[in-house]
A and B are shown apart, each in its own frame.
Chain A
């Protein structure tokens, strides 16, 4: 759609350091604190999991589908494996897949977005056609076909998610680069003889950084979602334990008809919480960067949110027209 407005982002951001910017986001937005807290909780849990798991995540330690008890907080699955241990172990692999796939798609999306926006011309046209294609292709169906043709393995899942998810990032970064490269300081740098490489890495990349962070966090959510979906459909290496395969096992081994809700609920809540954490944190950064750039990963077209500068309440107009930074 040609109606993409160039968002004039990060105006006035250059005076702040990135760390300072993140600190101010965390100070001003409760959602960001909650989101970051959730992500940090799961990351820490994954790192220390081997040290703190109460039982082995691979061996039978209790009865088949034993309900939650004081000794087994989340109960046991169809193989008599302690579910708390299994979820902690599965989180390690799910997070690993989610984070690695995100890094792959960030490098692809960030790189292509910068190159596309900076150089323009046929390079831009070619990349944007590919992006258009990836945006309309049904992600999960495509991932299903590829993992089936290549065979199930953790590595393939990472690659599949990586190549599927870079397109949104590339689009957002491209728009940003296109606006940054017309700024006076970039033109000045070029005028005094800075080459393309120096302009990109020294002058443009730092400006795009915060937006890239926001996009990365939002992509982690999508990557985790796709991983659990693929695993649920049985397209994950059957010997690994991830949050997705735990749900798949529960479903395939009739946990539902056995009434063993504990084989499904804690694991599902873990996935939901992590996705929610990524959404809250990523969205908060995006909103802080520019209130006009909302839900960018959902939409090609952007619509503006104007903040009324003071006065609205004083005019006796009810909240109908006034709004603040908490508007999503």
Chain B
């Protein structure tokens, strides 16, 4: 019963936050004064038909509050307007970009979690040793590294061995086997994913270390020790599961940062994802695309946060309190 309450509360919060994000998005682009002449129908080189269709769709001749309602309605139908640059629907373009972003960021983030958890455990286990000092200081250094600096360093170091731009080799002609294609994409993914991984892992190491240290101080660990269990077993069977909890929270909370880092990474490595699309939208003054991109990023973070809340709920029954 309590559990259902919790889920409903979190879901309600997620929906409310998405609504706030949509509203702020509308006001940013249509109401606030600024350099943006963000009239959705001002698509350069557009045919009069397209312009007229957009004006009708988004009610651009109506007062602002009515435009807001229409905007909500169009969003509900997945209509985010037409890109100024390519004159294609923003939603189609963004869906394609999101498809490219997700694997790269996911690979980097999961690798960061694995490395962070592992080094964090080792650090806590061998606390005070040379290994611990090395690992902790490295983690602080990588935590402090600006994403763009790290990306540029990797670019300099590996420019001659690995592909540094785009998602696949543009010079391949003719049909290509699926395997060769995947290998090509994989090779292009190494540097961007590695940048994401390295900028994140430091934080995870520090959190995992302190969480593990705390868990190792619990009475049940002392009991396990008194029973004569070997260290390895105490760590893996008794302490690890509880110590992992904070990592779930930290991943959820860092999602906004992960997305921000992804924008920088995609910009450096010309990865054709949503961050690159947003940067291009700024460069080309493509406001519908920028507005849509921001909304998609915000909504994905909110949704992922909600999923993390649910995961946390499963991981830690105490939350039902």
User: Which A residues fall within an 8 A CB radius of B?
Assistant: 1, 3, 129, 132-133, 135-142, 144-146, 148-151, 221, 225, 228-229, 232-235, 247, 250-251, 256-257, 261, 264-265, 267-268, 271-273, 275-276, 279-280, 294-295, 298-301, 303-306, 308, 317, 319-321, 323, 327-328
Contact of B298 among A141, A294, A327 (CB under 8 A): A141
- Decide yes or no whether B206 CB sits under 8 A from chain A: yes
- A265 and chain B: residue at smallest CB distance: B153
Chain A residues with CB under 8 Å of B136's CB are 328
Task: Please state if B28 and A251 are interface contacts (CB–CB under 8 Å).
Answer: no
Chain B residues with CB under 8 Å of A136's CB are 17, 255-256, 298, 301-302, 305
- B318 and chain A: residue at smallest CB distance: A3
* CA of A144 to CA of B28, assembled, Å: 12
* CA of A328 to CA of B203, assembled, Å: 11
Further 7 A-B residue pairs, CB within 8 A, beyond A233-B282, A303-B210: A132-B17, A135-B253, A228-B148, A298-B250, A306-B217, A323-B213, A328-B136
Q: How far is the CB of B31 from chain A (nearest CB, A)?
A: 11
What are 10 A-B interface contacts by the 8 Å CB criterion?
Answer: A1-B309, A136-B17, A140-B260, A144-B282, A145-B294, A149-B29, A151-B34, A234-B282, A272-B146, A304-B214
The 9 closest A-B pairs by CB, nearest first: A140-B260, A268-B149, A276-B144, A275-B144, A138-B259, A138-B256, A149-B34, A232-B148, A151-B35
Task: Please state if B152 and A264 are interface contacts (CB–CB under 8 Å).
Answer: yes
Task: Please state if B256 and A146 are interface contacts (CB–CB under 8 Å).
Answer: no
Task: Please state if B210 and A327 are interface contacts (CB–CB under 8 Å).
Answer: yes
Contact of A300 among B155, B221, B249, B283 (CB under 8 A): B249
Task: Please state if B34 and A150 are interface contacts (CB–CB under 8 Å).
Answer: yes
Task: Please state if B152 and A272 are interface contacts (CB–CB under 8 Å).
Answer: no
CB-CB contacts below 8 Å: B263-317 with A: 263-264, 267-268, 278-279, 282-283, 290-291, 293-294, 297-298, 301-302, 305, 309
Chain B residues with CB under 8 Å of A273's CB are 144
* CA of A313 to CA of B147, assembled, Å: 42
Q: How far is the CB of B106 from chain A (nearest CB, A)?
A: 16
Chain B residues with CB under 8 Å of A3's CB are 319, 321
In this complex, how many residues of chain B approach chain A with their Cβ under 8 Å: the count is 78
Task: Please state if B146 and A133 are interface contacts (CB–CB under 8 Å).
Answer: no
Task: Please state if A321 and B17 are interface contacts (CB–CB under 8 Å).
Answer: no
- Decide yes or no whether B118 CB sits under 8 A from chain A: no
**Given known A145-B294, A268-B146, contact A319–B127 (CB-CB < 8 A):** yes
- A243 and chain B: residue at smallest CB distance: B146
- A270 and chain B: residue at smallest CB distance: B149
Task: Please state if B253 and A299 are interface contacts (CB–CB under 8 Å).
Answer: yes
- B215 and chain A: residue at smallest CB distance: A303
Chain B residues with CB under 8 Å of A234's CB are 282-283
- Decide yes or no whether B74 CB sits under 8 A from chain A: no
Chain A residues with CB under 8 Å of B128's CB are 319
> Which residue of A228, A234, A275, A321 has the most chain B CB atoms within 10 A of its CB atom?
A321
* CA of A279 to CA of B217, assembled, Å: 26
- Decide yes or no whether B181 CB sits under 8 A from chain A: no
- Decide yes or no whether B26 CB sits under 8 A from chain A: no
Task: Please state if B221 and A276 are interface contacts (CB–CB under 8 Å).
Answer: no
Grouping DSSP codes into helix (H, G, I), strand (E, B) and loop, the B interface class, with mixed when no group exceeds half, is helix
Q: How far is the CB of A30 from chain B (nearest CB, A)?
A: 12
Task: Please state if A276 and B253 are interface contacts (CB–CB under 8 Å).
Answer: no
- B157 and chain A: residue at smallest CB distance: A261
Task: Please state if B211 and A279 are interface contacts (CB–CB under 8 Å).
Answer: no
* CA of A213 to CA of B221, assembled, Å: 36
Q: How far is the CB of A35 from chain B (nearest CB, A)?
A: 10
Chain B residues with CB under 8 Å of A256's CB are 152, 155-156, 159
Task: Please state if A305 and B301 are interface contacts (CB–CB under 8 Å).
Answer: no
Task: Please state if B146 and A308 are interface contacts (CB–CB under 8 Å).
Answer: no
- B242 and chain A: residue at smallest CB distance: A303
* CA of A185 to CA of B24, assembled, Å: 43
- A278 and chain B: residue at smallest CB distance: B144
* CA of A323 to CA of B217, assembled, Å: 9
Task: Please state if B209 and A264 are interface contacts (CB–CB under 8 Å).
Answer: no
Chain A residues with CB under 8 Å of B35's CB are 148-151
Task: Please state if A305 and B152 are interface contacts (CB–CB under 8 Å).
Answer: no
- Decide yes or no whether B46 CB sits under 8 A from chain A: no
Q: How far is the CB of A122 from chain B (nearest CB, A)?
A: 16
Chain A residues with CB under 8 Å of B294's CB are 141-142, 144-145
* CA of A55 to CA of B309, assembled, Å: 55
Chain B residues with CB under 8 Å of A327's CB are 127, 209-210, 213
* CA of A43 to CA of B148, assembled, Å: 23
Task: Please state if B282 and A251 are interface contacts (CB–CB under 8 Å).
Answer: no
- Decide yes or no whether B68 CB sits under 8 A from chain A: no
Q: How far is the CB of A15 from chain B (nearest CB, A)?
A: 28
CB-CB contacts below 8 Å: B229-252 with A: 231, 234, 245-246, 249-250
Contact of A233 among B221, B222, B279, B293 (CB under 8 A): B279
Chain A residues with CB under 8 Å of B114's CB are none
Task: Please state if B267 and A233 are interface contacts (CB–CB under 8 Å).
Answer: yes
Task: Please state if A303 and B231 are interface contacts (CB–CB under 8 Å).
Answer: no
Contact of A139 among B29, B32, B126, B257 (CB under 8 A): B257
> Which residue of B127, B155, B209, B222 has the most chain A CB atoms within 10 A of its CB atom?
B127
Task: Please state if A138 and B279 are interface contacts (CB–CB under 8 Å).
Answer: no
Instruction: Write out, one digit per residue, whether chain B residues 127-162 have a CB within 8 A of any chain A CB (1) or not (0).
Output: 110000000100011011111110011011001000
Contact of A251 among B152, B207, B216, B254 (CB under 8 A): B152
Task: Please state if A261 and B144 are interface contacts (CB–CB under 8 Å).
Answer: no
Contact of B148 among A132, A135, A247 (CB under 8 A): A247
